[in-house]
Structure 1
Amino acid sequence: MPAPLDGIKVLDLTKLAPGPFCTMILADLGADVIRIEEPAPPTGRRAQQAGAAGRRPAGNSFNSSPYNALARNKKSIGINLKSGAGKEVYSRLAQRADVIVE
């Protein structure tokens, strides 16, 4: 039996916890969620949620931060949305998406 949202494509541009939580639920229900992230280290609230730079816990620190716990069942891609090439990649992804969450 297919999942309720099987076949739905979602672009996730969210940064603060409620947005990634929303798209995590969509992914749990079967949607194909692509998380679009800044290619550089996290800034602002993302940096606070990821923890202090340079002080990483033992093991895989990316799986230990609360922000990345909300990334389950999602794919991710780093795109610089301020560059021409990044805008082009985003445009192609957006044309194929059913839902964009910002």
Structure 2
Amino acid sequence: MKTAVIKILQGRDRLEQESFLALQTHYLFKAEFCNVRSGNEKGRVEGSVGYVRRNALVPEPEVQSLNELNDYLKEWCLKEAENKKVPHSKETVGDVWAKEKE
């Protein structure tokens, strides 16, 4: 993504845009890049997509519009956040999210 990376270097190394580095500093995260053409390295993201597909979209929800589907998925996510525990913690995803929003 050109808004984040100026140049792909060797392996996972990247020359990052100054604005992307500022974003990382502001939100206190460090970007971890995959190797080029190595989609298999994105397993957690792909696994999460599969989890939502299997749990939120089976059986297929009966909706009349894209907006209705988005509302359904938002409600599903909020319920999921109240029930799902954060790994290595007794807190739910919703609890941690509420703290983070402050």
User: Shorter-normalised TM-score: what interval?
Assistant: under 0.3
For the pair shown, the structure with the greater C-alpha radius of gyration is 2
TM-score of the aligned structures, taking structure 1 as reference length: 0.26
TM-score of the aligned structures, taking structure 2 as reference length: 0.26
The structure richer in strand per residue is: 1
Taking CA–CA contacts closer than 8 Å with sequence separation of 6 or more, which of the two structures ends up with the larger relative contact order? 1
